[in-house]
Structure 1
Amino acid sequence: MTLFGRTLAPEEIFGLITLLTALVIWVMAWRGERNWARFFRGWEADRKARRDAEIAAEQGAPTPGDKSGPWG
């Protein structure tokens, strides 16, 4: 096999395939970690919003989503 005008030996081809496979596995793991972090951030924000709403309801204070006044 020739790559960039250089003939590659079977050992070099195997090394190239191994490195490309490692890169693919690393990218897949990175994507999974990124998706998990995105999910966790959303879950934390929802949990905080629910907790803030519970605290506001216990204190009798209006929640930020409650509209009052002539414009809604």
Structure 2
Amino acid sequence: MTLFGYDLDGQQIAALVSLLAVLALWLVVLGRERGYARWFRQWEADRKARRDAELAQHGQGPKRGPWG
């Protein structure tokens, strides 16, 4: 097989295929990691909003600063 004017044998083709497979794997992992980070930030914001609403319902405001 010829690629960009170079003759590639079976071992080089296998190495190229495995390199492309590893690149695809890393792209999938990166996408899932970014999705998890986005989900976790949203979950944390929702949890804080629920807690603040619960504190406001009991007559306590959300604490601001280290002394409340």
Aligned residue pairs: how many? 61
Write out the 4+ residue segments of structure 1 that deviate beyond 4 Å after TM superposition.
none
Q: Aligned runs of 1:1-16 on 2, under 5 Å?
A: 1-16=1-16
Q: Aligned runs of 1:40-55 on 2, under 5 Å?
A: 40-55=40-55
- TM-score of the pair, normalised by structure 2: 0.83
1:57 shift after superposition: 1.1
Listed one character per residue, the Cα deviations across residues 1-54 of structure 1 (whole Å, up to 9, x for unaligned) are 111111111110000000000011111111111111111110100000010111
Give the aligned CA root-mean-square deviation in angstroms: 1.2
